[in-house]
Amino acid sequence: MPAQDKIQVYRNPIPTTDIVIEYNNGDKDGIVLITRKNPPHGIALPGGFAELGISLEENAAKEAKEETGLEVILESPESPLCVHSDPLRDPRAHMISVTYVAKGYGELRAGDDAKTATLYTINEVRDLLGQGQIVFDHERILMKYLEHRGYA
């Protein structure tokens, strides 16, 4: 049996990428979060399913562009902020998320799966935590980011 056929008989988690985008719109600094257009609805980090033929780092940048309109420069492509693999982290299926931190450039605008793309200050992000508005385990990721940056 060819290797590709062997791979297809296994049921594996689905790889995804998420990205914390640091951005300045000229008036304020913060991070970009989206409001999801599709279920599960709520506030989330930009991200999406890993695509065949591109690296996870390229996928994160592609998803950022599609959902926020921003070009990004990954802070540390070889060392993501975190990897989450809890089988219950996403109600749709078992997903593994690799999360990157990046600087965003360009004009912020929602696209693709994002209903809105919004710049939140660090204080506004803190205010969102614990309110039940953030989907998946993105609240946990945001808490790791705040700790990583010394904001916790």
Q: What is the pTM of this model?
A: 0.91
> For position 27, what pLDDT does the model report?
93
Asked if 84 contacts 144 with a C-beta cutoff of 8 angstroms, the reply is: no
Q: How far apart are the first and last CA of the chain?
A: 52
What are the chain's domains? 14-147 (3.90.79.10)
pLDDT tens readout for residues 45-62:
999 999 999 999 999 999
Mean pLDDT computed over every residue of the chain: 93
Cα–Cα dist 136/63, whole Å? 17
Q: How confident is the model at residue 25 (pLDDT cuts 50, 70, 90)?
A: very high
Cα–Cα dist 44/20, whole Å? 10
Cα–Cα dist 57/80, whole Å? 9
Asked if 125 contacts 141 with a C-beta cutoff of 8 angstroms, the reply is: no
pLDDT of 2 higher than 70: no
Q: How confident is the model at residue 7 (pLDDT cuts 50, 70, 90)?
A: low
Phi, psi angle pair for 28, to nearest 5°? -150, 160
pLDDT tens readout for residues 75-120:
998 999 999 999 988 888 999 999 999 999 999 999 888 899 999 9
